[in-house]
Amino acid sequence: MTTTTGRLIDPAPPAPEKTAPPTDRRALSVSGLSVAYPRRHGRGAGESVLRGVDLEVTPGQILGVIGETGSGKTTLARAVVGLAPVVGGRIEVAGIDVGGLRKRELRDHRRSGVVQYMFQDPLRSLDPDLTVADLVGEPLAVAGVERAERRARVAEALGRVGLDADALGGRIPAQLSGGQRQRVSLARAIVTRPALLLADEPVSALDASNRNHVLRLLDELRRDLGVAVVVISHDLSSLAGIADRIAVLYRGRLVEQGPTAEVLARPLHPYTALLTASAPRLDRDPAVRRDRPGRSGPVSGEAPAWAGEPGACVFAHRCPLAEADCRTQPGGSPHPGERSAACHHPVTTSADRLARAPRATT
């Protein structure tokens, strides 16, 4: 079925989501989000790096966002925390319209710690001169929490990520291993008990053992604390292990969204099909994946320079299944609550077409 916007809705009934919380209140709702960085030379905004993005995350849910380097994953997270120039659309965090806040309200919103952003590189994002206890306690100090309560909550947060506050609280980042630094970042992110946690490539710099540990921690945190988590990654296998839903970004546009197991086993969008095909050791059995996250290699490569028409589907110039309408009509936007893809001629209509078609450039 194709909607008037060119959006394809999968005719199969959606699978029930095991971890769906009992409430329908969304921790994050993004609609029609567009972001454009200012031009380096000259005035005004440059070309949009995100266009018309729609997303939702409910409490206790993990949404995985995947895409090639430069597809806009970090920009999406930065826009949610107010660090990227939004030029269109709406962002709601825990029911608060962030774009509608006045200066002082926005400052209070940020200080409250209701949304936390774990940066990509823990070594560079942690102040090298602060101790672990101070690093983890800092967001609480900013939120105005009293010193005595701070100390208890820092110990609790460190305990949750498997670090001993007495043993490690006095160390500085340079005295920690990579895995420990990432866990300090995680403790710092959860210490304010956020409704929403944005984790940008949380495991890309870690070895397999630490990667699995951090992924398991994220899984525990959403279960125990009900925190909604957005995990950004270019590694499909990391997401396969923990994400309830996956959103696929290509050149600043979402091209597919849906429950993880379905998206991986039966991708609708040709780009998603290429991603899954390039992760050969990805387990197709969701039960197996949950037990063994992080087993396959990352999807590599950068999207080539734009070679399509402005009004075309964003993937048309690389797509092995593209037809004439793909070069003249945008693919639309996949709906957050559904299993859908922005594609005129989805892979499901003939699953083996992609296998037989010439491979797109990667």
Ligand X SMILES: Nc1ncnc2c1ncn2[C@@H]1O[C@H](COP(=O)(O)OP(=O)(O)OP(=O)(O)O)[C@@H](O)[C@H]1O
> Where along the sequence are the contacts to ligand X (CB under 6 A)?
37, 49, 67, 69-75, 234
**Among residues 70 and 226, whose Cβ is nearest to ligand X?**
70
How do 115-118 and 196-200 pair as beta strands?
Answer: parallel
Residue 257 CA: distances (Å) to CA of 73, 82, 133, 251: 14, 24, 39, 15
Min separation Cβ 69 and ligand X, Å: 3
Min separation Cβ 37 and ligand X, Å: 3
**Among residues 29 and 74, whose Cβ is nearest to ligand X?**
74
**Among residues 75 and 272, whose Cβ is nearest to ligand X?**
75
Min separation Cβ 72 and ligand X, Å: 4
**Among residues 84 and 312, whose Cβ is nearest to ligand X?**
84
Q: How far from the centroid of its chain's Cα atoms is residue 353's Cα?
A: 29
Min separation Cβ 301 and ligand X, Å: 11
**Among residues 58 and 185, whose Cβ is nearest to ligand X?**
185
**Among residues 150 and 269, whose Cβ is nearest to ligand X?**
269
> Which burial class, exposed, middle or buried, applies to 118 when counting CB atoms under 10 A from its CB (0-12, 13-18, 19+)?
buried
Does residue 45 sit in helix, strand or coil? strand
| Distance from C-alpha of 94 to C-alpha of 97, rounded to nearest angstrom | 9
Min separation Cβ 67 and ligand X, Å: 5
Min separation Cβ 106 and ligand X, Å: 20
Does residue 118 sit in helix, strand or coil? strand
| Distance from C-alpha of 321 to C-alpha of 341, rounded to nearest angstrom | 14
Please list, in sequence order, all residues whose beta carbon lies within 8 angstroms of the beta carbon of residue 124, skipping any fewer than 6 positions away.
Answer: none
Ramachandran region, residue 303 (left: φ > 0; alpha: ψ -120 to 50; beta: rest): beta
CB 346, CB 339: distance < 8 Å: no
